[in-house]
Each structure stands twice: as C-alpha cells, then as structure tokens.
Structure 1
Amino acid sequence: MKILFDLLPIILFFIAFKWGEGHREQAAAWMTQYLGFAVSGGAVGPTEAPTLLATVVVIVVTLLQVVVLKALRKPVDRMLWIGLGIVVVLGGLTLWFHDETFIKWKPTAIYWVMGAGLFITEVVLGKKMLNQMMGGQIQVPDAVWRRLGWAWVAFFAGMGVLNLYVAFNFPTDIWVSFKLWGSLGLTLVFTLLQGVYLSRHMPAEATDKAAS
C-alpha cells in the first residue's frame, strides 16, 4: 500500500500528460481559464498544455499526500517533504515560464538528494540506514553494508544522469513514459540484485530460515 502511495504522483503525472496529449485544446482552454494567473501571459497554448497540466496534477497530489498524512496524524517522511519542496519550486517555474525544462529536472534533483543523504548517513557516518530500512533483522558484515551503500549512491547518481539524458535527447512523451516505467523497472531490478547480493553474505542458518 505504501508503494502505491509513494508512486501516486508519478502515476497521475503520467495519466494527466497522456490525457492532455489527446485533448490539447481542451486542456489548454481549461488551464487558461482556471490557472491563467499562475502562468506568464495568462494563457496556455495547446503544445505546452499536456506538460503544464501534468505539472499541476503532480504538485496538487504531492501536497494532498502531506495533508492526508497530517490529518491522519501519521508521520510525514522526510523525503516527502523534500519532494514537495522540489516539485513546488520546479513545477511553479515550469508553469510560470511555460518551460518544461524545470519539471524535467525534478526526478534528477530527488535522485541526487537521496544519493547525497545515503552517502552521508551510510558511507560517511556509517549508520547502517539501509539495514534499518529493511527492519534491522538482516545480519551481514559491516563491510557489506558499506559496499551496498556505495552501490545505492552510485545508482541514484546514475539515475539522475539518465533522467537528464532521456529528458533532453528524446521527445517529452518518451521522457514521461520513461519517468514511470523505465525508472520503476530499473529500481526493481536493482533492488532484486541487492537482495541476491545480501543473500550471498548472510550466515547459512539465517539464509535457511529466510527460505523456510
């Protein structure tokens, strides 16, 4: 359930963009009428409408995630706060300047913030944050956690670069699809590889227990 909650802004960004692609004139008219105050010149054109509509959706959904968690008196993850700040700033700039460049930087900014956070906590401070995120029940040598920390830092750095490459070398619709399916697929593959790597370094009795 939490995975779906975390992915909700990306999924709805994708859906909003695809709808806007198929209804450019309608999306442009709606945004001009109701959100003209948020864009320079007060009008949205059909060409830019899909991206700007998707940007509005992702800002609203991310904000609603925080509001819902607060209303339910549940803790708001630090990365959600950071993501909200990034999407409001870059999304706001995208809307005002009619320029999708800003929102295309959002995934990279989040990847690099996550990578920097892991580098500080896992590599520099050695707090075994990855172990804590996995429930703290996996017993492997500290050196394994350090190597895994470096691997995640490299993964986030690489994903940030890959997002920029796709964003600025392919049409926007390709980037939007990659933002959902490509990023999700690569993350799942990397997570599976992480599980295989950990299993190779777990004590035999722990591995047998996990298998049973």
Structure 2
Amino acid sequence: MKQFIDFLPLLVFFIVYKIDPRTVSLAGHEFEFGGIFSATMVLIVASVIVYGLLYLKQKSLEKSQLITLVAVLLFGSLTLAFHEEAYLKWKAPIVNWIFGVAFLASQFIGQKPLIRRMLDHAMSLPDAIWTRLNTSWAIFFILLGAANLYVAFTFETIWVDFKVFGSLGLTFAFVIIQFLFLARYIKQEDTDKTT
C-alpha cells in the first residue's frame, strides 16, 4: 500500500501529461490543462498533499520520501519558472543517483549497509550477502538513473512513459531477481539448520 501511495503523484502526473492541452475556465480564470507544464504543477501539488498527509499521519517522512519531495519541488519549480521541461527530465536520474550513492556510501559509513538497515528486522544473512545485496542495489539505482537520462534526452516522445512505467517495471523485475537470489540462499540456510 505504501508503494502505491508514493506512486500516486507520478500517476496523476502521467494522466494529466497525456491529456491534449486545452484551455479550461475556472472561477473566471483561464488555465491551460494537459501537457508537460500543467502535469508538472499537478505533480507538485499532489506530492505536497500526499507527503503532507503522510507526515501528519506518521509524524515523519522516510528519507526516500523526503528526497523525492524535495526533488519534485526543486525540479518542478525550475521547470515551471523557466518554462523548460529539461529540468524535470533531470529529476529521475538525479534522485536515482542519490539513492545509488547512498547505498554505496553506507558500506563505508555507519555500522551496517543501507539494505541491511532496511531489511535486518525481516531476515538474517551473513555480512558478505548483505554487502553483495547492498552493492547490487547501488548499481541498479545508478544504472536506472543513466537509463532515465538516456531515454529523456534521446527518445523525447516516450520519456514520460518510461519514467512512469519503464522505471517501475525495471524496479519490479529487479526486486523479483533479488527475491529469487534471497529465496535460494534462505532455502539453503534452512536446509543447513535441519542437518
């Protein structure tokens, strides 16, 4: 459920982006609705509402949520202020690279790698496996950021589709691969305990 809530502003962005731009009258004012700039405005508003409600409910935001919100506010505001979509195209790569660097740096800073801090309560693995898992997440986020950047500036007609569904699909596939890796290891660990 949490992942859907985090995905909601991006989904609303996608829907508004896909609407053919048109002028809408509201309370005696005319607004352009549809296309990149109104979708960016909707993304900002939806993000503030979603993360604001989460903050009120949880009394805090996770670091990943805070990074995402700040990136939406920064890159979305630059996109609207300069009327240039290139700023928004940089959001996904930079956020992914921040996550990748955070995973990588956590292997050298602090007691545990980031993935272990996130999943330690759910499973017990040897240090070498935690390190390998953490490194794979770091590499994944760095490559995902590069893929987002490449698609955004090379295939401009599909960059929003890739940003919303391509990134999500790649992340989902990567999680499945991680699960298969961990399931194999955990199965081996359970067999070792019974002998």
TM-score bin (small chain): 0.7 to 0.9
1:105 aligns with 2:102: no
1:180 aligns with 2:177: no
Measured in 2, the distance between the counterparts of 1:195 and 1:65 equals 29
Deviations 1:150-189 (A, max 9, x none): 11111100011100110001124x1111111111110011
Pick one of 93, 108, 115 that aligns with 1:130: 115
Paired residues of 1:83 and 1:110 also in contact (CA < 8 A): yes
Q: Give 1:200's aligned residue.
A: 184
Residue type at the aligned position of 1:75: S
1:16 aligns with 2:13: no
1:164 aligns with 2:164: no
5+ long unaligned stretches in structure 2: none
Q: Give 2:23's aligned residue.
A: 26
5+ long unaligned stretches in structure 1: 36-43
Measured in 2, the distance between the counterparts of 1:91 and 1:34 equals 21
Pick one of 175, 180, 194 that aligns with 1:191: 175
Distance 1:204 1:63, change over 3 A: same
Measured in 1, the distance between the counterparts of 2:16 and 2:82 equals 20
Give the C-alpha shift of residue 190 in structure 1: 0.5
Query: Quick check: 121-130 or 68-77, which moved more?
Result: 121-130
Measured in 2, the distance between the counterparts of 1:197 and 1:70 equals 34
Measured in 2, the distance between the counterparts of 1:163 and 1:207 equals 41
Provide the secondary structure at the position in 2 that maps to 1:202. Answer: helix
Pick one of 64, 68, 91 that aligns with 2:53: 68
Give the C-alpha shift of residue 138 in structure 1: 1.7
Q: Normalising to structure 1: TM-score of the pair? A: 0.80
Q: Give 2:130's aligned residue.
A: 145
Deviations 1:74-132 (A, max 9, x none): 32112222222111111111111110000011111110111111112245545143233
Pick one of 48, 52, 58 that aligns with 2:37: 52
Paired residues of 2:102 and 2:114 also in contact (CA < 8 A): no
Matched positions, count: 191
Measured in 1, the distance between the counterparts of 2:50 and 2:104 equals 27
Q: Which has the higher contact order (CA 8 A, sep 6+)?
A: 1
Q: Give 2:4's aligned residue.
A: 4
Which has the larger share of strand? 2
Measured in 1, the distance between the counterparts of 2:55 and 2:133 equals 33
